[in-house]
Amino acid sequence: MGTANANQNSGDQPGPKLEDTKGAQSIHRAMALLRKVAAHNDQGATLSKLAREAGLHVATAHRILSVLVKEGLATHDPVAKLYHLGLELYQLGHAAHQYTVRDRFRNALEIIAQRSQDTVFLLIRLGNDVLCIDTVQGKYPVRTIVVDVGARRPLGIGAGSLSLIAFLPQDQFEAVVQANAPRYPNYKNLTADDIREMARKGRQAGYVLSDGLFHEDAVSVGVPIFDFQGGVQAAITVSAIRPRMSAQRREEIYQLVQEVVRAEGLSP
Identify the CATH number of the domain in which residue 67 sits.
1.10.10.10
Claim to verify: residue 111 and residue 204 sit in the same structural domain: yes
Q: Which amino acid is at 76?
A: H
- Number of domains the chain contains: 2
For residue 102, pLDDT beyond 60 = yes
Cα–chain center distance at 32: 22
Confidence of residue 8 (pLDDT cuts 50, 70, 90): very low
Q: Cα angle vertex 193, ends 244, 45, to 5°? A: 110
Average pLDDT over residues 139-162: 87
Distances (CA, A) of 81 to 43, 124, 193, 245: 11, 25, 22, 39
Per-residue confidence (pLDDT) for residue 251, from 0 to 100: 98
DSSP E strands: which ranges in the chain? 74-77, 82-85, 119-126, 129-136, 152-154, 208-211, 218-226, 232-241
Claim to verify: residue 69 and residue 116 sit in the same structural domain: no
Q: What percentage of residues in the chain have a pLDDT greater than 90? A: 68
For residue 94, pLDDT beyond 50 = yes
Claim to verify: residue 106 and residue 197 sit in the same structural domain: yes
Claim to verify: residue 247 and residue 208 sit in the same structural domain: yes
Q: Is residue 5 part of a domain?
A: no
Sequence-distant (≥ 6) Cβ neighbours of residue 161 within 8 angstroms = 123, 130, 153, 154, 155, 222, 235
Alpha helix segments (H runs only) across 76-143: 87-93, 95-116
Claim to verify: residue 133 and residue 229 sit in the same structural domain: yes
Claim to verify: residue 73 and residue 155 sit in the same structural domain: no
| Range of the structural domain that residue 191 is part of | 94-263
Claim to verify: residue 46 and residue 119 sit in the same structural domain: no
pLDDT, the chain, mean:
88
Average pLDDT over residues 185-192: 94
Q: Is residue 9 part of a domain?
A: no
Claim to verify: residue 24 and residue 134 sit in the same structural domain: no
What is the signed CA dihedral for 172, 174, 180, 183, rounded to 10 degrees?
150
Claim to verify: residue 142 and residue 221 sit in the same structural domain: yes
Claim to verify: residue 221 and residue 131 sit in the same structural domain: yes
Question: Of residues 131 and 147, which shows the higher confidence score?
Answer: 131
